[in-house]
Amino acid sequence: MSTSSWRALFDLPRDIAYFNAAQIGPMPRRGVEAGKAAFDAKATPWTRTIADEFFNAPEAARSKAAALFGDDAHGVALVPAASYGLSVAAKNITLEPGQEILVLADQFPSNVYTWRTMAERDGASVRTVSRDQGQSWTEALLDQINPQTGLVACGALNWIDGGRIDLVAVGEKLRAVGGALVLDLTQSLGVMAFDAKAVQPDFAVAAGYKWLLGPYTLGYLYVAPQHRSGEPLEENWINRAGSEDFSQLIHYRDGYQDGARRFDMGERSNHQLVPAALETLTVLEEVGVDAAANHIATINDALIEAASAYGLRADIPDRAPHYLSLGLPSDAPADLAAQLDAHGVKVSQRGPRLRVAPHIYSDEIDVARFADALKAVLS
């Protein structure tokens, strides 16, 4: 598939430049069609097989998501939200009293509240790592990891400024002091390469409705091999061994399905959302993570050039190539995103910055619309 054919995979009107994948990713047409067909089938349940709806489709989605983490299907659980995956991690890691949990400044709330609650439970504390001027997030984090560090919770980037974190380096230093690594990859999985074997996180979660372009309420949790015999948050029947045989369900079993499947959310087979997610993951697989990342990086370069003429700065030296968060000039209007919206440009303001998040469907016409809108609003 070539970059020029990617836009046609989506139902995006030409008078909108959609740069908000970091907020909500638009689902490709094929995903939408699969979802509609799944809803239609809900009116005629006998037209789908138990094997497909309950087992084959979720298993296929699990397998495709697992490839994005750099693992196989045994390593991934189906979860409704990043917070759910983080709670699974918190339930299966215990800290010693006095140990510290490190989070980054301005981290996404689901990935802060979980650790505040865990700290209270274990008599640990949460410490927020900030970076100094000119320092990378990686340096700031490595600086703060010491024998007191029980856990680091972060992402592959800081979601406010887009600064990248070298997760291999963080993981290595953390393992040397016996700390756990829990990742929220919601803002990177699918458009930034990730290799669980190199990073070796304990847990890594990604909500599926942003860069993964999938339906809301279906995300993916990678679980490291040493945690795959841990305790799930819920005890759903389908996660138990032998659940494929519906005639034997009341012969209660102690064992679980293999690998990370024990951590699946209840009703993980979600008959309407899973087909949409599966088809969407298939589209992403056909595009490929590297090709998507390269395309988005190229679009971002063009956006940066357009923005620089109006004083918006790509001033984060360690910026993740797919994630553009622009510094605003001091006289920028407080409602800049709303004003750009009136010109058909969809972006977000997060903190004091403008987040511009293109995806595989973005092209030079979108970039030109962005440049025209900035000109209309700022000059």
20 binds ligand PLP (CB under 6 A): no
Could you tell me the two tokens for 31?
Answer: 């995903």
257 binds ligand PLP (CB under 6 A): no
Contacts of residue 117, Cβ cutoff 8 Å, sequence gap at least 6: 90
**CA 265 → CA 155, 209, 228, distances in Å?**
22, 17, 15
Q: What one-letter code names the amino acid at 157?
A: L
* Segment 173 to 232, residues that bind ligand PLP, using CB under 6 A: 184, 186-187, 207
Q: Which stretch binds ligand PLP (CB under 6 A): 80-88, 96-104, 221-229, 334-342?
A: 80-88
Q: Which of 115, 159, 203, 263 binds ligand PLP (CB under 6 A)?
A: 159
Q: What one-letter code names the amino acid at 225?
A: P
Q: Cα angle at 25 between 296 and 350, to 5 degrees? A: 80
Helix (H, G, I), strand (E, B) or coil at 289: helix
110 binds ligand PLP (CB under 6 A): yes
Q: What one-letter code names the amino acid at 344?
A: G
Judged by CB, which is closer to ligand PLP: 82, or 124?
82
Q: Which helix (H) or strand (E) covers residue 3, if one does?
A: helix 3-6
158 binds ligand PLP (CB under 6 A): no
Q: How far is the CB of 209 from ligand PLP (least distance, A)?
A: 8
Q: Which of 77, 81, 167, 371 binds ligand PLP (CB under 6 A)?
A: 81
10 binds ligand PLP (CB under 6 A): no
Q: Which of 83, 257, 269, 325 binds ligand PLP (CB under 6 A)?
A: 83
Contact 293, 192 (CB under 8 A): yes
Q: Which stretch binds ligand PLP (CB under 6 A): 31-39, 81-89, 254-262, 335-343?
A: 81-89
Could you tell me the two tokens for 237?
Answer: 């029947």
Helix (H, G, I), strand (E, B) or coil at 18: strand
Looking at the DSSP assignment, which residues form a beta bridge with residue 26? Answer: none
Judged by CB, which is closer to ligand PLP: 155, or 275?
155
Which parts of this chain interact with ligand PLP (CB under 6 A)? 81-83, 108, 110, 155, 159, 184, 186-187, 207
